Amino acid sequence: MAMEIDADDELLQDAGDAAYPTLDRQPSYYNPLDTFRLAKGDQKHYQQQYGDLYFLRLAKLKPAVEALADEEWKNFEIAGEKVRRVDRVLDVRQGELCWVAGTVYMDMPLKPNILDDISKDHWIAAPPPREKFVSPTGHDQTMLEDESGRLRLIGTPLQLSMLVTGCIIAVMGTENANGDFEVVDMKVPDLPRQPQRWERDEASAVILNGTGSKRKSNGEQKRIEGGKIAIVSGLGISGDQGDTLTLDLLMEYLLGEACGPSEQAEVSKISRLIIAGNSITEGTPLALREEEKKASRKYGYDSSAYNPAPTTHFDNFLATLLPSIPVTLIPGETDPANVSMPQQPIHPAMFPRSRNYAAMPNAIEPGWFDSVTNPWEGDVDGWRLMGNGGQPIDDVFKYVEGDERLEMMESLLRWRCGAPTAPDTLWCYPFQDRDPFVIEECPHVYFVGNQPRYDTVVIEGPVGQLVRLICVPKFKETGEIVLLDTDTLETELVKFDVFESSS
């Protein structure tokens, strides 16, 4: 029996002349800094000592903390005795009210000690890493040291303040009969100068190129308001099928394919994606069959044990996003980059598809795909951003009692040091002429990846500096990304989850 179908019900119809609006992604004004780039090839050496790094840090930050302390304590007196400044730790005299600046050293018995590890060669297996270095019996000691010597600190202000090895402070007090310095008050360098928005772009707005003509930079281009920056960390791609669903949801969201017209308009405002470390899960070699184990090489590289699935999957993920959105990639602890801080950019050979969007070697302008260092800082839409993959905060966590990550981040900024525990318990390059971890200019946004949970706060400096602190959670565990509004610096949390049937 034949069925008659009305013309309005036909499946194949003319597309018509209706016009549909097209959405263009918000442009990204991007001006990164090379603060943490290391020399390449033969210019990079590891023969030098690490002690020079502490002296470089002290020489850089001591004038700042001394100026702050002198202004605060210049008229201070106790029982008619006026406080005086001493230049070195060893110039402190017993019973005399004075103040001195130096480097903090935390003497903690539970900290890793390479000499103890060597002496205990009878261990069958290495002990598991400790979550905290804090001694439960209270045997930890706080020292203040400089080029002349070391002084043990005691007092209530130390219990009320967060201190770790490597931060520069000034303390006021007096030495008691036991040789301990009883602290009455303490000062830290506090937040440095904060640049104005677009300051760096406008300073280089008109530059000369090789032909002698002038060109306009981002500072002179028309700036569009209402943009957003997406920050994600801890993708933890392992190459397994279990990775794909939440990653696909994230990818489709950023591309505007998983939402309606109103949400697509909001997604189009995301001008840049920043990936803050641990994009690939910790490397696990392929399991070998018994016959392969017998034939495996004893020395050298065994290509049969290498698992390319995680990097291939991550490369495909980036290559799908890059035609639509620029990406800044910060390496993390589990990524294929050097272990010591500052981690250098992940080599482009790991991204055979995505590297087509990267800048050419020795290019001045950054590419659409920018693989950067960890830590990293740069200007995005005029704001100074600084961030890392989480290792400096995770290491500071081991020195303190609690788990207040925002307080640790605030302390790092007020100490003006992005990785104070390096090189004591955080591996780093042995710098000889500068300490790149010293914060020269205060950022507007400070983000840290791979944290246990999302959190944010705005802190204020002594002269009105405002800094947005952001703890970025691990996407693999939480399914969350952070959106930063480039007009107000307010944050928004977007969560992706997969419904699992109980049946």
Q: What percent of the chain has pLDDT over 90?
A: 58
Mean pLDDT, residues 178-202 taken together = 92
- Cα 396 → chain centroid: 13
Per-residue model confidence (pLDDT) at position 7 = 52
Kindly state the helix (H) or strand (E) to which residue 450 belongs, with its residue range. strand 445-451
- Cα 499 → chain centroid: 32
Q: In what order do the strands lie in the sheet with 491-495?
A: 369-371, 327-330, 270-276, 228-232, 480-485, 491-495
Nearest CA to 376 out of 425, 325, 427, 327 is that of 327
Q: What is the mean pLDDT of the chain?
A: 85
Q: What percent of the chain has pLDDT over 70?
A: 83
CB atoms within 10 A of CB 400: 18
Is the pLDDT confidence value at 503 over 60?
A: no
Per-residue model confidence (pLDDT) at position 207 = 43
Mean pLDDT, residues 358-371 taken together = 89
The winner for highest mean pLDDT among 18-27, 98-107, 109-118, 219-228 is: 98-107
pLDDT for 402-446, tens place per residue? 889 999 999 999 999 999 999 999 999 999 888 999 999 999 999
Is the pLDDT confidence value at 267 over 60?
A: yes
Residue 104 · residue 226 · CB < 8 Å: no
Give the Cα separation of 476 and 281 in Å (integer): 10
Give the Cα separation of 348 and 336 in Å (integer): 11
Q: At how many degrees (to 10) do helices 244-255 and 309-321 cross? A: 20
DSSP string, 377-410: EEEETTEEEEEE-SHHHHHHHTTSSS--HHHHHH
Residue 431 · residue 56 · CB < 8 Å: yes
Is-cis flag, bond preceding 342, omega within 30?
Answer: yes
Per-residue model confidence (pLDDT) at position 217 = 45
Nearest CA to 475 out of 257, 212, 285, 278 is that of 278
Is the pLDDT confidence value at 279 over 50?
A: yes
Give the Cα separation of 268 and 266 in Å (integer): 5
At 203, give phi and psi (nearest 5°).
-65, -30
pLDDT for 288-341, tens place per residue? 455 554 555 555 555 556 677 889 999 999 999 999 999 999 999 999 999 999
Mean pLDDT, residues 265-283 taken together = 90
Q: How many residues does the chain have?
A: 503
Q: How far is CA 139 from CA 135, 136, 387, in A?
A: 6, 8, 34
Is-cis flag, bond preceding 336, omega within 30?
Answer: no
Is the pLDDT confidence value at 200 over 50?
A: yes
Per-residue model confidence (pLDDT) at position 1 = 47
Kindly state the helix (H) or strand (E) to which residue 445 belongs, with its residue range. strand 445-451
Residue 374 · residue 329 · CB < 8 Å: no
Identity (one letter) of the amino acid at 177? A
Indicate the DSSP class of residue 424.
Answer: T
What tokens appear for 491 in the block?
């944050």
Helices (DSSP H) in 16-170: which residue ranges? 51-73, 114-119, 156-160
Give the Cα separation of 450 and 282 in Å (integer): 14
More confident call, 122 vs 439? 439
SS3 content of the chain, % helix, strand, coil (to 5): 25, 25, 50
